[in-house]
Amino acid sequence: MRVRIHFEPVTLGTSIYYPYYLQTALYSLLDGELGTWMHDKGLVLEKRRLKPICFSRLMGEYKLDRERGIIYFPKGAALVVTSPISEICQSLLTGLLKRGEIILGKSSFPVSKVEIADPKVSGSSILVRTLSPITVYSTMLKFDGSKYTCYFSPKDSEFVSLCRDNLVRKARALGWEENQDFELNIEFKGDPKTNMVKFKNNFIKGYSGYLMISGPTRYLKLALDWGLGAKNSAGFGCLEITGGGNHQDRI
């Protein structure tokens, strides 16, 4: 399920490193117990804590003040938030209707319209575009025992295998019991764009563009609802379907 939020034009901007502000704002919109659960716990799988939420970048015509590190949306903006748990989207919708705005840093973004939809997948392949970059990585050890993060590009074989493993973990966290031995294929249409995104104090590498994803229908739906790749709750891997066997229900 997904919520599309439309914002009024605003004169004040926000930091170009706004994804952390967005995450904080979205959690604060959830009702008390659900917001606390999302922030502190989420779904637990073995030693991992998985947060079942994903969101896009702010979309719309923008202006950049690179010297000050500020981004402006003089004609308004839009944001997509997704989750495989419908209660999260419903709680987010309620919070938006009550507050009527999202606070990013010191700036208020008044809400003009909210739409909630549930894209359906009926085939084994979908064409999607990224609404936020897909990041895929592994934590490696150096010779001295210290850790470092190795990011994989769509050209690396590990990219698809790690995306598949990530979907399997999400399915297990949601309690799925069906066969998890399946093949996943990901093919970018053209050269993917490389993105470096700052989240808190770290820069994270991701890739964006149009891509064809093939696999079991239910896992394709999971990628749409929870995101593809890692760090979805930090605003990575948000997808929007543009073609394939599907239709979209507006609620």
The catalytic residue positions are 27, 39
Cα–Cα distances (Å) from 180 to 45, 121, 174, 175, 232, in that order, read 15, 18, 13, 12, 21
Alpha-helical runs (H) found in the chain? 19-29, 32-40, 86-99, 157-173, 217-226
The CA radius of gyration of the chain, in Å to the nearest whole number, is: 18
What is the DSSP secondary-structure string of 79-97? EEEE-SSHHHHHHHHHHHH
What is the DSSP secondary-structure string of 32-46? HHHHHHHHHT-EEET
Distance CA 174, CA 148 (A): 30
Are the C-beta atoms of 70 and 14 separated by less than 8 Å? yes
